Structure 1
Amino acid sequence: MLDLLVVAAASGLAGFVDAIVGGGGLVLVPALFATYPGAPPASLMGTNKGGAIWGTAWAARQFARRVSLNWRGLMPAVAMALLGSWAGAWTLTQVSADGLRKALPLVLLAILAYTLARKDLGREHAPRLAAARESLAAGVIGLCIGFYDGFFGPGTGSFFVFLFVRILGYDFLHASAAAKLLNTATNGAALLLFAWKGHVWWQVAAVLAVTNVAGSLLGTRMALRHGAGFVRGVFILVVSALILKTGYDAFLR
């Protein structure tokens, strides 16, 4: 029971962070591995997806009710994200992700440096592409980051947010809202694969889902209340934490 309370609290915090800017896995996945050190990694990852998908989906619903989104452009991207995630998860069963693990902190460091250097990045919502080109660009983003999420995963939501800001011209609030839609699809695809392979502890996942939704509700309300500047600040904090965590895992552990 104590173990369950610990991971439930971590799931609530993960839902809060993930609802604002992504990166909830930075909180929940290490908590699961620390609490259940003898468990198969696949079961812990599957249980993580089983809990986290509900908070992401809830955040997507809340954002969709309050933030104007280009639904015609984003729905094909959602389908591409689902396809990419499934392909990434399958690829993981065939090859090792060690090379990507070492490259990830360097990529995140570049993203952080770029965001800090561009003080105005993501503060104003000014989509720069025509409808057809925006749909195509969003689809490519969904496919590529979806593949990454299925294959490896850490920071998926943050990658979605950054690319929507940098490539499509969204502000951080709209980018976060769009990211939730695509991240729900990638989580769903990965969850289906883990469930198919029998790698989900459904009783634990159900508890994680409840606290993840609660954290997501609070995070979404704060993001909507404080706007793009607040989301940008949280994005910088989360990416900084991801750099430290992934750098430690890749080079020091």
Structure 2
Amino acid sequence: MFDLQNIMIGQFSLFTILLLIVAAIAAGYIDTLVGGGGLITIPALLAAGVSPVAALGTNKLQACAGSGTASLMLWSKKQVSFSLVKWSMLTAFVGGLIGAFLVQSFDAQTLELIIPLVIGLIVAYFLFAPKPDGEVSEPKMSQNAYRNTAVPVIGLYDGMFGPATGSFFVLAGVSLRGLSIIKATVIAKTLNFATNVASLLIFVWFDQVAYLLGLLMMVGQFVGATLGARALMTINPNALRGLVVGVCLVMLAVWLFKQ
């Protein structure tokens, strides 16, 4: 009898790989619309049996596809200029490097406790945080101060864990720099790309990336992002947030059940 579970590619069954690609498609779709795709991909990697640190590293590899594509499109369409964001991208990059380096010192048992807690807190944020409005307001922090404090701190978080980093950059841009939500979202994509690349370099250095899974999930990210772009004007964001939270909790439950 044909059984996907018995077809092995490396240490993973074809069934597991297909599920991870589906998770990546869902994450790319969700990231395009409301952000928070890491809430699906990290628990999915953990549920597949990837170690906690390698799950974070593999997530960075596949996340680079989405954030990199978005950034290149925004630059090519002149929605944001590189000269405007280059120094903020640099401090975000440094924060991502430091965060990814720090997380390497955590043992697996510690991460098995911390990661579900962090994801649970992000789920709560996703559900209950006030949604930024679209109005431009008076900045509460200068560009230099923002670039040298808030940006690297969010970058450090992304290097260590990652889920909802884009949402944090948007919230910070709106609340601290007084940007419109559209402008903050555009800038957030470029900063998230910088933190993804920085943290990926550290995870690669420490050999904490499952390359086969990460590269296949990159394909899923491209597919999901394309579908998300087409649905951008018709989807109900509140319904989608509920779907993100539900899928995330199911993935976490599967992983915790396996412990």
TM-score range, shorter chain: 0.7 to 0.9
Q: CA deviation at 1:99?
A: 7.3
Contact 1:25–1:155 under 8 Å retained in 2: yes
Match of 1:219 in 2: 228
Match of 1:87 in 2: 98
Distance in structure 1 (CA, Å) of the matches to 2:160 and 2:197 = 14
Q: CA deviation at 1:9?
A: 1.0
Contact 1:73–1:135 under 8 Å retained in 2: no
Unaligned ranges ≥5, structure 1: none
SS of the residue corresponding to residue 98 of structure 2 reads helix
Match of 1:183 in 2: 192
Distance in structure 2 (CA, Å) of the matches to 1:68 and 1:135 = 22
Distance in structure 1 (CA, Å) of the matches to 2:122 and 2:42 = 21
Distance in structure 1 (CA, Å) of the matches to 2:227 and 2:220 = 11
Match of 1:197 in 2: 206
Per-residue CA deviations over 1:146-176 (Å, capped at 9, x if unaligned) read 0111123222121112111222223333222
Contact 2:39–2:244 under 8 Å retained in 1: no
SS of the residue corresponding to residue 207 of structure 2 reads coil
- The reply on whether 1:43 has 2:58 as its aligned counterpart is no
Match of 1:59 in 2: 70
Which of 1, 21, 38 does residue 8 from structure 1 map onto?
A: 21
Match of 2:7 in 1: none
Tell me: CA distance 1:29–1:137, structure 2 relative to 1, closer, same or farther (3 Å).
same
Higher percent of residues as helix: 1
Question: How many percent identity over aligned positions?
Answer: 28
Distance in structure 1 (CA, Å) of the matches to 2:244 and 2:219 = 28
Larger mean Cα displacement after TM superposition, 80-89 or 19-28: 19-28
Match of 2:158 in 1: 149
Match of 1:32 in 2: 45
Which of 98, 110, 115 does residue 130 from structure 2 map onto?
A: 115
- The reply on whether 1:167 has 2:185 as its aligned counterpart is no
Which of 232, 242, 245 does residue 241 from structure 1 map onto?
A: 245
Contact 1:21–1:157 under 8 Å retained in 2: no
Match of 1:210 in 2: 219
Unaligned ranges ≥5, structure 2: 1-13
Tell me: CA distance 1:208–1:29, structure 2 relative to 1, closer, same or farther (3 Å).
same
SS of the residue corresponding to residue 130 of structure 2 reads helix
Contact 2:122–2:163 under 8 Å retained in 1: no
Q: Give the counterpart letter for 1:6 in structure 2.
A: L
Distance in structure 2 (CA, Å) of the matches to 1:188 and 1:234 = 30
Contact 1:51–1:205 under 8 Å retained in 2: yes
